[in-house]
Amino acid sequence: MSPATTAAVRLAGATKTFGGTLVLDDVDLEVAPGEFVCLLGPSGCGKSTLLSLLAGLDRPSSGQVSTGGGRPALMFQDHALFPWLTAGRNIELALRLAGTADRAERRTEAMRLLGLVQLADAYGKRVHTLSGGMRQRVALARALAQGSELLLMDEPFAALDAMTKEVLHEVLIGIWERRRPGIVFVTHDIREAVRLGGRVVLLSSRPGRIAREWRVDLPHPRRSEDPAVLELAMEITGHLREEICRHARD
């Protein structure tokens, strides 16, 4: 990346300590505008902590953290929708907070975004009537409503069944190919990381450090059962196992 290019994400020597426990240690990471990066690592290695730093929900103990595309949009494993609002109203609220003042314009944009996540008929439906996968699609539409050039995703599909996850992978990749936001996607699922990401970053066991990176030079669409996806996933699994075993020996 040239110095003139503004990174979507830049961490330089980022360290985070909680109560005397070192969670992240000297993390250097750059994500280019429009890049899709998946973040893997053993449980407790600091993946969600790193995402919190990028979202501005916390500050590093030392080092620098910056996002070049303005305030990022954040999507959690839990959809975090307001249950007393309809799907459309949840998205309209995000649009209003993002600065869209006109009510008719908010409604039109909310319906467009629901169409983008293949829920065009869900505008007037209340959240509790929707399936888990549908709620996550509404949550994705709400994140997109913020108009950010950077989307942070913390295991957004972890609680879903395999078939629903496959559908949402296709929805997400379709949106990414059309809009090209920068994406940092935290997951425990190695095949999910290889299927989605253009780059996979492995964090070490706590304290979290960048242990290794892989470029995923496979064209989309990809499927989890594709031989090339499985081959790279097996390679990454071997390195992740080494990290887990190293931590157990320490």
pLDDT of the chain along its 250 residues, tens only? 434 347 899 999 999 999 889 999 999 999 999 999 999 999 889 999 999 999 999 999 999 999 986 789 999 888 889 988 999 999 999 999 888 889 999 999 999 999 999 999 999 999 999 999 999 999 999 999 998 999 999 999 998 899 999 999 999 999 999 999 999 999 999 999 999 999 999 999 889 999 999 999 999 989 989 999 999 999 999 999 988 887 666 6
Round to whole Å and give the CA distance between 140 and 135: 9
Residue 92 and residue 214: Cα distance in Å, rounded? 38
Topology (CATH) of 20-72+148-250: Rossmann fold (3.40.50)
Q: Where are the domains of the chain?
A: 20-72+148-250, 81-147
Nearest to 203 by CA among 17, 23, 8: 23
Give the tokens for residue 109.
């944009």
Tell me the backbone φ, ψ of residue 202, rounded to 5 degrees. -105, 125
Residues 93, 22: Cα–Cα separation, whole Å: 38
Handedness of CA 10, 215, 176, 233 (dihedral sign): negative
CA distance 170 to 220: 10
Sequence length of the chain is: 250
CA distances from 246 to 6, 72, 212, 233 (A): 36, 34, 15, 20
Q: Per the confidence metrics, is the pTM higher than 0.85?
A: yes
Phi and psi dihedrals of 74, rounded to 5?
-125, 135
